[in-house]
């Protein structure tokens, strides 16, 4: 279940985070981007890669070490960006707003660093696009998946074909949920909208990542050719629609997603390894919307697309050097260390 330590997954995650940054900045600031960018969406790819990496991480370092490592990777930077998001709200409302609404700020920051990333107080809905850090709904989904992995590993020992069954059930809900639940149950949110904040809906993407790492040894030698063959179906990017061929945005079709996953594995494991000295992908992902919203608040800078990109990368670097890298040094073991023999 191990894979080579010398891979380009860090570069891949950086490219995926940059795709999300560019797409969101373009939408919020009225800029044009090549339509092909939407054919390589960051969120579904992140879910697939998380299934691949996190399942493997738990198998190599189960129990307390797994929990410790996940906490150190996610939450220091999450707290840092939550404080940054609160600063954006104070920039919009004035510093005195904290004294007038302390519970609002405290509850929002608490939600951001637990499992309430989708929580959006009404008091903040006049800030920027109305949601200070709306992209963090995926962090909720990721954390819930992290919590589910130990149970999946334990149940696999008793239930044969557990992961394929979970993938099938999740895809069925992904496909049928919008039609089954159309009536709002809370404000304008349906049952499906709520489930879409969890791996229940997106779990099939994580699950395919799990299957990829489980069978990595069997198909490793085919990764390169499969990725090349996948290029032959690129026409789906222009014509693909629906639950099978859909090739744009987060709601990808199954066939296109399988091709996309093959391209991901090909990029990560069948291209020449190029080391990346710092990992800015997480920082770019969590910081881009607070930066964009801060610029939207500054009306004169509301269309500063390039500035949004530059400031996001700058804050990602600050997050890496001051928060993320020091926290990662505290990890007891890492997946890279566990795979060291494979790379040798």
Query: What does the block give as tokens for 189?
Result: 């949110």
pLDDT digits 0-9 by tens, 214-234: 999 998 888 888 888 788 778
Assess if residue 2 is contained within a domain: no
Q: What does the pLDDT read at residue 338? A: 46
Average pLDDT of the chain, as a whole number:
93
* Percentage of the chain modeled with pLDDT above 90: 83
Name the pLDDT band for 4 (thresholds 50, 70, 90): confident
Q: Is the pLDDT of residue 114 over 70?
A: yes
The domain total for the chain is 1
pTM value is 0.94
In a domain, 246, yes or no: yes
Asked whether the predicted pLDDT for residue 335 surpasses 70, the reply is no
> What pLDDT score was predicted for residue 241?
86
Q: Is the predicted pLDDT of residue 343 greater than 60, yes or no?
A: no
Q: Which domain holds residue 156?
A: 9-336
What pLDDT, on a 0 to 100 scale, did the predictor assign at position 221? 86
pLDDT digits (tens, 9 = 90+) for 301-334: 999 999 999 999 999 999 999 999 999 999 866 5
Is residue 251 scored above 60 in pLDDT? Answer: yes
């Amino acid at each position: 279940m191990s894979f080579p330590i010398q891979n380009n997954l860090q570069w891949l995650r950086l490219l995926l985070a940059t795709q999300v940054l560019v797409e969101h900045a373009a939408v919020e600031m009225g800029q044009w981007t090549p339509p092909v960018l939407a054919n390589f969406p960051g969120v579904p790819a992140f879910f697939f890669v998380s299934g691949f990496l996190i399942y493997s991480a738990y198998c190599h370092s189960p129990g307390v070490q797994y929990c410790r490592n996940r906490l150190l990777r996610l939450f220091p930077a999450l707290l840092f960006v939550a404080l940054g998001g609160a600063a954006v709200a104070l920039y919009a409302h004035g510093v005195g707003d904290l004294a007038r609404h302390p519970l609002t700020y405290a509850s929002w920051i608490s939600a951001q660093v637990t499992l309430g990333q989708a929580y959006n107080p009404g008091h903040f809905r006049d800030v920027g696009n109305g949601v200070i850090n709306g992209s963090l709904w995926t962090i909720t989904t990721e954390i819930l998946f992290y919590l589910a992995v130990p149970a999946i590993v334990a149940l696999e020992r008793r239930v044969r074909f557990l992961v394929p069954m979970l993938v099938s059930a999740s895809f069925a809900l992904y496909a049928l949920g919008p039609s089954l639940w159309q009536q709002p149950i809370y404000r304008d949110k349906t049952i499906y909208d709520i489930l879409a904040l969890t791996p229940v809906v997106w779990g099939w993407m994580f699950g395919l990542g799990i299957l990829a790492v489980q069978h990595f040894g069997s198909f490793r030698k085919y990764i390169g050719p499969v990725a090349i063959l996948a290029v032959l179906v690129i026409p789906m990017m222009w014509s693909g629609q629906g639950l099978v061929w859909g090739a744009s945005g987060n709601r990808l079709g199954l066939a296109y997603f399988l091709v996309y996953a093959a391209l991901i594995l090909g990029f990560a494991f069948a291209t020449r390894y190029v080391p990346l000295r710092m990992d800015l992908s997480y920082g770019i992902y969590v910081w881009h919307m607070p930066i964009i919203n801060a610029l939207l608040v500054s009306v004169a800078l509301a269309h500063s697309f390039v500035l949004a990109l530059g400031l996001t990368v700058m804050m990602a670097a600050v997050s890496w050097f001051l928060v993320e890298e020091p926290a990662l040094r505290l990890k007891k073991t890492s997946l890279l260390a566990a795979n060291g023999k494979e790379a040798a």
